[in-house]
Amino acid sequence: MRKAKAQFSQETGPVIVSDRTKMDEAVKAKLKEKEERRQFREILKNKRDPKKSVYYDEVWNPYGVPPPGMPWKERDEEDSEGNSPLL
């Protein structure tokens, strides 16, 4: 009896396909597509200008990527060359 119960409890029942389940799948697909579009817009909005990076160099680092383990840093508005003014 226990073998039969264990065998049947592992099997899944029949998949019922109806208009309601089809509509739920369509709604889920639309929500997923909407979320993907929102994430893409967020990425474009937060796109960084490599020339503003502290690590930017025209020849050696044209993308302004920080070294491994270092955070992204941007130059100040008045510090266009990356040199701090002497006080």
Mean pLDDT of the chain: 79
- Whether residue 85 is contained in a domain is answered as no
- Whether residue 59 is contained in a domain is answered as yes
Band of pLDDT at residue 63, cut at 50, 70 and 90: confident
CA distance linking residue 65 with residue 79, whole number of Å: 18
Q: What is the mean pLDDT of residues 50-79?
A: 86
Domain of 24 in residue numbering reads as 19-75
Q: Which helix (H) or strand (E) holds 40?
A: helix 19-45
Number of domains comprising the chain: 1
- Whether residue 81 is contained in a domain is answered as no
- Whether residue 11 is contained in a domain is answered as no
Structure pTM?
Answer: 0.39
- Whether residue 49 is contained in a domain is answered as yes
The more confident residue out of 54 and 78 is 54
Output the DSSP codes for 42-62. HHHHTPPPGGGBTT-BTTTBT
Q: Which helix (H) or strand (E) holds 20?
A: helix 19-45
- pLDDT tens for 12-37 read 666 777 777 778 888 899 999 999 89
- Whether residue 65 is contained in a domain is answered as yes
